[in-house]
Structure 1
Amino acid sequence: MALIEGVGDEVTVLFAVLTCLLVLALAWVSTHTSEGADPPPQPQPARTAAPARPSEPMADLDSIRGEAPAAETPSLRHRGQAAQPEPGGAGVTAAPAAAADPPQEPLVLRLKFLNDSEQVARAWPHDTIGSLKRTQFPGREQQVRLIYQGQLLGDDAQTLGSLHLPPNCVLHCHVSARAGPPRPPCPPGSEPGPSGLEIGSLLLPLLLLLLLSGGPAAPALAASARRPNVVLLLTDDQDDVLGGMTPLKKTKALIGEMGMTFSSAYVPSALCCPSRASVLTGKYPHNHRVVNNTLEGNCSSTSWQKTQEPSTFPAILRSMCGYQTFFAGKYLNEYGALDAGGLEHVPLGWSYWYALEKNSKYYNYTLSINGKARKHGENYSVDYLTDVLANVSLDFLDYKSNFEPFFMMISTPAPHSPWTAAPQYQKTFQNVFAPRSKNFNIHGTNKHWLIRQAKTPMTNSSIQYLDNAFRKRWQTLLSVDDLVEKLIKRLEFTGELNNTYLFFTSDNGYHTGQFSLPIDKRQLYEFDIKVPLLVRGPGIKPNQTSKVLVANIDLGPTILDIAGYNVNKTQMDGMSLLPILRGGSNLTWRSDILVEYQGEGRTVPDPTCPSLSPGVSQCFPDCICEDAYNNTYACVRTVSALWNLQYCEFDDQEVFVEVYNLTADPDQITNIAKSIDPELLGKMNYRLMMLQSCSGPTCRTPGVFDPWYRSDPRLMFSSHGSIRTRRFSKHPL
């Protein structure tokens, strides 16, 4: 019997080898017979109106695809529409001009390649696009694609004069690495490999062969073929409560209406850097220890780089799950600081890095392109940051490998100040004003002293200022809406949309006049801690709204779960949303989350308001300050079938407490701390202390209002000491 089994194994191996040889032979024949054909061009979706500068030097783009840099500078294959050959000779063909026409001036054009090199070309207005290609790239004209202001110049018979090109204008030039006639865009999985064979044509037969043979690699290959892609779109300071999603009509239609909208999505800290650190790590601020927007507050500090960046979810996706990872936009507020590695620092886990130096801007900024600095100016057509991010994201989708799933994180400057809208949107929303909600321009009675110090009513100049800011914020979001539309159209065009999850959210909310505070974030109220969260993807039914309580610490666990990684292997505090997204029933879910913030104040009087004592910051000309050292607080936000509460404690001499019943008082006008049942107050105080010392699984324990809640005093303390020491530490590092 053993002999028979041995013979059977040998026959199986021989059969597999012969089958592989047959597949290789068929692929070779298919490749060489198809190269003689000239397939028709396929349509390509239009790019964003304002083009970015070329996406990356050649070596960096090749490294994304796992290939060595090409020998020739501009030789990178583009998966878009190839230029069609123009009938006629190889010389420059000039169209006959009318006798009455004045003499034409020659055009001076700058052909800019992906590695930032340039080539000057001279032509006449009556020259065609095809003749320009033949003149500048003799013998390779069929491999050349020219792009002007984001639009592919695909008609070789079109004259240059019809484009109305300004003097010394830039044409972005993509030259494919493959010789031969133009080819249509490659479907996913069909990029040519180094051997010259169409590897994509081999992938399916070989995969089927391995699956049938039951070899040890078969399950891994099958899982890899099914793993979804993920795109995370993160805006800056976009609120949910005051209508922040209103201008994003296309985003709501393309993501929200095609998937799920979360109506109770929160951030654990209402400030950019701590909140973004929570997105990346899946942890509350007391665990990732980023407490404000400064290096001293651990924002992109060397300590953060050493202790937290190696365990972010993108790093796990890259190292453990084999994902291509792409970042574009604002990272952390102090990224690029010289004291923390400068722009040369590229965080672990990113295979493509296109990060903004420090805080949000729209013009006159510097980007780190895989650790190399690139300055941008104030020319809308090449420098407007939201459009630059859109275009480099589309470039990534063109040049990425088709053999690995991908993760993209696109972090826009909008709608953060200075609220610079694209030129075409600067006159929109002229009749829009900041919402006059019930808590607009009223005194914050029975609230923390920082809220009570705001002057009520606000001056007319303050109201005019915040109305203008509100309007400009919406204007900047229109370019984000365009970005989302372009991205989804490109994913649909490449056939990857149905296998891609898209998340849209913000790092924190915002206020404009609530409780007479002019404009900012940082406060504990709904307008500052509640954010939009829209998700679409495989297995998510359209037009759904979920009321479950979620936080941005859940994004990392969710994306790792999508990638097939066991979240329990991490130290993340959040929970995977995937069961909710897929419509799971009888799920056990949390009923509360932690919100914590460490206030900032100046050691000297604020120059805007010299009459004020030291210890305050973010002050306006009316001497209304938005922050202070003792604006340090921690809250439990509870949302369940029976309760909708918020309990907060301040670290000040009063140990001030604010409590709100948001079912009866959604605008949080009345602080009920002194009138609420003392037993209920004690339960919430206990839960707050427990959450402030939690880590990993203990952050996901049932809340005090859950029926399965059990009291465990040991959870109130950590290995670092008592909760009181840990909660309001002034020196997180």
Structure 2
Amino acid sequence: MPLESRPNIIVFFTDQQRWDTVGCYGNPMGLTPNLDGLAAQGVRFENAFSCQPICTPARACIQTGKFGTETGVFRNRIPLAKDEKTIAHYLKDAGYETGYIGKWHLAITRDRPVPAELRGGYEYWLAADALEFSSNPYAGVLYDSDNRAVRFEKYRVDALADFAVDYLRTRTREQPFLLYLSFLEPHHQNDRNRFVAPDGYAERLTELWVPGDLIPGTGDWEESLADYYGMCRRIDENFGRVLAELDHLGLRDETLVIFTTDHGCHFKTRNDEYKRSCHEASIRIPLVMQGPGFRGGKVRTQLVSLIDLAPTLLDVAGLPVPGYMHGHSVLPLANDEPVDWPDAVLIQVSETEVGRAIRTRRWKYGVVAPDKDGWNDSGSEVYVPKYLYDLEADPVEKVNLIDNPAYQGVCGRLAAKLQQKMAEAGEGAPEIVKR
């Protein structure tokens, strides 16, 4: 593919955003008109999932196309190795300008600058490793390519969008670009232990639509949901600003825009924090793409994963996909090409437990290693079944069928499928023993 025909790529990346906050995925509150409009022009992936519902591992999977058990980044506070080749390395070698703005979370320097060798190959740099520690919702600091502090004093989402717009306006190079714009919101603010919407936004949302998996009296969603939705609304407004700037600069037709997130949020209803589980609230995510190769207002129902993003970006740029990458480019799906697409996605989970799950169109089957430590052990040779959900009959996962005698045949088939997927991910096929 000639270099001039390769599209620009913007990855608009949020943190901890449930798929059902988005209108085109069914949320009735009108929070995301700009993203809904993009989906009407592009391709929406109805069944998109995180492959590791924790911040650092999910980011490592996207950047490398490899699962956390291969990169070694199976939990937070493990840096991505300097010698791991990322999407930025591949695209830079192919002539792309590569830029990163926002939260990185792959160097584990927390609020300190990220050394150049830990930036994953990105050239233009305006980021902080753990943005939640270098900033608060209305002020903070990022670091530029020379590790000079760049301070902001406005709502954090607005500030990052400002920086992205400025990047687009001041580019002087002629080659295509990859801009990875990584927000913290709608993640909770760690030092406040709560979600912080822009001033006045939560107060406007007087009638809240409540997802079916959130049960009154459990978790902290009742005091958090209005702020969470307000954060999603402001994200969408700034998404619209970035799109408008692309239009203003005449770049929209030659730019692939991707909107997605690292994982969802269950509001402490499944364990004592916000994600780190294999339930739909944690793993199901929005994924919308619009631009060259992704047009027409299409909806694709195949099961796709964050592990598919790296192969997709390389494919869009006209580059071969390395055989070691586990995902598949979604470009053929978007263009109605015949493709033998996998019928299940693999989810790894750590920290709260050493667990694995597969998600098929109908079933969610998960296992756990009870004798392993979720912080210190990346995997296990032996697992026991933990849950089985029939997502057709029980989409909000309230009825665990794992001990129901009538479903043991289903469990056996799914256990074999899970072992196969784990082997494909380089883990080997573990033993799954009955409880």
**Aligned-partner residue type, residue 86 of structure 2:** T
Tell me, yes or no, if structure 1 residue 683 matches structure 2 residue 413. yes
| 1:588 aligned residue | 340
* Structure 1 position 438, deviation (Å): 5.6
| 2:384 aligned residue | 655
| 2:125 aligned residue | 353
**Equivalent residue of 1:257, what SS?**
helix
| 1:366 aligned residue | 141
* Partners of 1:363 and 1:376 within 8 A in 2: no
Tell me the percent identity.
Answer: 24
**Equivalent residue of 1:262, what SS?**
strand
* Partners of 2:113 and 2:143 within 8 A in 1: no
Which one of 88, 94, 97 corresponds to residue 324 of structure 1? 97
* Structure 1 position 656, deviation (Å): 4.0
* Partners of 1:647 and 1:684 within 8 A in 2: yes
**Aligned-partner residue type, residue 430 of structure 1:** T
Change beyond 3 A, Cα 1:566–1:243: closer
| 2:245 aligned residue | 490
**Equivalent residue of 1:474, what SS?**
helix
* Partners of 2:113 and 2:128 within 8 A in 1: no
Between structure 1 and structure 2, the one with the greater Rg is: 1
**Equivalent residue of 1:549, what SS?**
strand
| 1:36 aligned residue | none
Q: How does 1:75-154 map to 2 (within 5 A)?
A: none
Change beyond 3 A, Cα 1:478–1:233: same
* Partners of 2:391 and 2:397 within 8 A in 1: yes
Distance 1:334 1:264 in 2: 30
Distance 2:282 2:131 in 1: 19
Tell me, yes or no, if structure 1 residue 401 matches structure 2 residue 172. yes
Distance 1:237 1:270 in 2: 9
How many residue pairs match? The answer is: 407
* Partners of 1:286 and 1:692 within 8 A in 2: no
Distance 2:397 2:151 in 1: 43
Q: What is the TM-score normalised by the length of structure 2?
A: 0.86
**Equivalent residue of 2:346, what SS?**
strand
| 1:709 aligned residue | none
* Structure 1 position 323, deviation (Å): 0.3
Distance 1:564 1:539 in 2: 12
* Partners of 1:268 and 1:285 within 8 A in 2: no
* Structure 1 position 390, deviation (Å): 1.1
* Structure 1 position 649, deviation (Å): 0.7
* Partners of 1:239 and 1:508 within 8 A in 2: yes
Distance 2:238 2:224 in 1: 22
Distance 2:211 2:284 in 1: 18
* Structure 1 position 518, deviation (Å): 6.9
* Structure 1 position 242, deviation (Å): 6.0
Which one of 502, 511, 514 corresponds to residue 266 of structure 2? 511
Distance 1:307 1:263 in 2: 34
Distance 1:243 1:635 in 2: 25
**Aligned-partner residue type, residue 67 of structure 2:** Y
* Structure 1 position 520, deviation (Å): 0.9
* Structure 1 position 364, deviation (Å): 4.0
Q: How does 1:469-618 map to 2 (within 5 A)?
A: 469-512=224-267, 514=269, 520-567=274-321, 569-584=322-337, 586-599=338-351
Q: What is the TM-score normalised by the length of structure 1?
A: 0.52
**Aligned-partner residue type, residue 161 of structure 2:** A
**Aligned-partner residue type, residue 362 of structure 1:** P
| 1:637 aligned residue | 359
| 1:313 aligned residue | 87
Distance 2:168 2:138 in 1: 25
| 2:378 aligned residue | none
| 2:375 aligned residue | none
Residue by residue over 1:387-433, the C-alpha shift from the partner in whole angstroms, topping out at 9 and shown as x without a partner, is 12111111211222342011111111210112333336353213326
* Structure 1 position 355, deviation (Å): 0.8
Q: Using the TM superposition, name which of 517-526 and 412-421 deviates more.
A: 517-526
Q: How does 1:434-449 map to 2 (within 5 A)?
A: 435=210, 437=212, 440-441=215-216
| 1:224 aligned residue | 3
* Partners of 2:388 and 2:402 within 8 A in 1: yes
| 2:380 aligned residue | none
Distance 1:408 1:682 in 2: 44
Q: Which runs of 5+ in 1 are unaligned?
A: 1-219, 442-456, 600-626, 700-715, 726-733
RCO greater where, 1 or 2, for CA within 8 Å and sep 6 or more?
Answer: 2
* Partners of 2:144 and 2:150 within 8 A in 1: no
Residue by residue over 1:190-228, the C-alpha shift from the partner in whole angstroms, topping out at 9 and shown as x without a partner, is xxxxxxxxxxxxxxxxxxxxxxxxxxxxxx7xx112111
**Equivalent residue of 2:360, what SS?**
strand
Report the aligned-residue RMSD. Answer: 2.6
**Equivalent residue of 1:372, what SS?**
coil
* Structure 1 position 236, deviation (Å): 0.6
Q: Which runs of 5+ in 2 are unaligned?
A: 190-194, 372-382
Distance 1:492 1:690 in 2: 46
* Structure 1 position 363, deviation (Å): 3.3
Distance 1:484 1:326 in 2: 17
Structure holding more strand per residue: 2
* Structure 1 position 679, deviation (Å): 4.1
* Structure 1 position 373, deviation (Å): 3.6
| 1:264 aligned residue | 47
Distance 1:438 1:248 in 2: 20
Change beyond 3 A, Cα 1:389–1:496: same
Which one of 182, 207, 224 corresponds to residue 411 of structure 1? 182
* Structure 1 position 337, deviation (Å): 4.2
Q: How does 1:615-626 map to 2 (within 5 A)?
A: none
**Equivalent residue of 1:550, what SS?**
strand
